Amino acid sequence: MSKKLPVILDVDTGIDDAVAVMMAVKCKNLDIKLITTCHGNTTIENITKNTLSMLALLGEYNIPVAQGMGHALKKVREHVSVHGSNGMGGYEYKNNPLKALDKSALEATHEVLQKADEPITMVCISPPTNVANLLLHYPEDAKKIKEIVLMVGSNEIVPEGAIPYKEFNASVDPEALEIVVNSSVPKVIISMEMGHTAYFTWKDVYKTEHKNDFGKLLEVIFRQYHDYHVKNGIATHDGCAIAYLAKPKIFKMADANMTVEYFEQLGSGVGVIDYEKTPNCKITKEVNVKKFKKLYFKCLKKCKTTQEIE
């Protein structure tokens, strides 16, 4: 079997993050060295609790989790979450034995990078606050990072004078995104169009529910996930980021230049793409939906839930 890809995963668990965590730990060619939590879909406390719950339910007791930033780097902006009351559609996993490390995401990430005997892939399926914070505090770590894969922004060109859609991860902390896009580290952008294209249909949700206990849980929390772009199903933004790591060839990519632009009407900033300027990232343009879902169900099939789902 080919060598596993060492990964640090930053999450704001969140319903589509839960799918991504499941795929990340079940993909045989990924080695998850650390999971860090970041503010976003709900409070940082809920996000850490939700992440630990998913790992416990997946029987993954040996992946360290470190809690990260509870707010944006420079400016806290009000934002609406579409992930239910606690970020997990209200689902609570009782008496979880797992605990987060007693060190911050910043320190835990720095330690893992410094100890690594090869560059590590960082995946950010949350507002890029923790990643930016690392680059600010430990700039020397940039050379220990193979690439940063971010679920953020759109691959659509913003016409002159138009107001773009504010993708959540970018708009919650655009200043952090600016730091990351301006860094020298190779970047891969998983644009929101992927999760809107490779969304789970109700048939996929039915198949998920009847796969196993973990699938039954996903079906319960999916009911509370309301991405406005996906009316007849479940967006798969964060799962697409993991699929890119596991099977990059199911995506069509383009070289592009991402900058962060601020729009008064949005009260925030967004990642704006230009395909003519000097590239500073690769961005997803298309996804093979059939192959994405084949990977998802292959991962789901491996899940053995260790506790009855209430």
Active-site residue list: 237
Asked if 105 contacts 67 with a C-beta cutoff of 8 angstroms, the reply is yes
The separation between CA 286 and the C-alpha centre of its own chain, rounded to angstroms, equals: 18
Tokens of 75: 């400016």
Label residue 67 exposed, middle or buried (CB < 10 Å: 0-12, 13-18, 19+). buried
Q: Using CA of residue 42, residue 48, residue 50, residue 54, what is the dihedral sign? A: positive
Residues forming the site for ligand RIB (CB under 6 A): 12, 14, 16-17, 40-41, 125-126, 151, 167-169, 192, 237-238
Asked if 87 contacts 42 with a C-beta cutoff of 8 angstroms, the reply is yes
Residues numbered 12 to 31 that lie near Ca ion (CB under 5 A) are 12, 14, 17
Which residue number, 37 or 126, has a Cβ lying nearer to ligand RIB?
A: 126
Q: Using CA of residue 260, residue 181, residue 17, residue 283, what is the dihedral sign? A: positive
Q: Is 149 in the site for Ca ion (CB under 5 A)?
A: no
Rounded distance, CA 52 to CA 54, Å? 5
Rounded distance, CA 134 to CA 141, Å? 8
Q: Is 125 in the site for Ca ion (CB under 5 A)?
A: yes
Binds 171: which of ligand RIB, Ca ion, none (CB < 5-8 Å by kind): none
Which residue number, 16 or 178, has a Cβ lying nearer to ligand RIB?
A: 16
Those residues whose C-beta lies under 8 Å from the C-beta of residue 80, and which sit 6 or more positions away, are none
Which residue number, 112 or 235, has a Cβ lying nearer to Ca ion?
A: 235
Which position's Cβ is nearest ligand RIB? 168
Binds 167: which of ligand RIB, Ca ion, none (CB < 5-8 Å by kind): ligand RIB
- For the chain, the first-to-last Cα distance in angstroms comes to 38
Binds 233: which of ligand RIB, Ca ion, none (CB < 5-8 Å by kind): none
Q: In angstroms, what is the minimal distance from the CB of 225 to ligand RIB?
A: 9
Q: In angstroms, what is the minimal distance from the CB of 138 to Ca ion?
A: 23
Which residue number, 84 or 141, has a Cβ lying nearer to ligand RIB?
A: 84
Q: Is 128 in the site for Ca ion (CB under 5 A)?
A: no
Which residue number, 226 or 302, has a Cβ lying nearer to ligand RIB?
A: 226
Residues making contact with Ca ion (CB under 5 A): 12, 14, 17, 125-126, 238
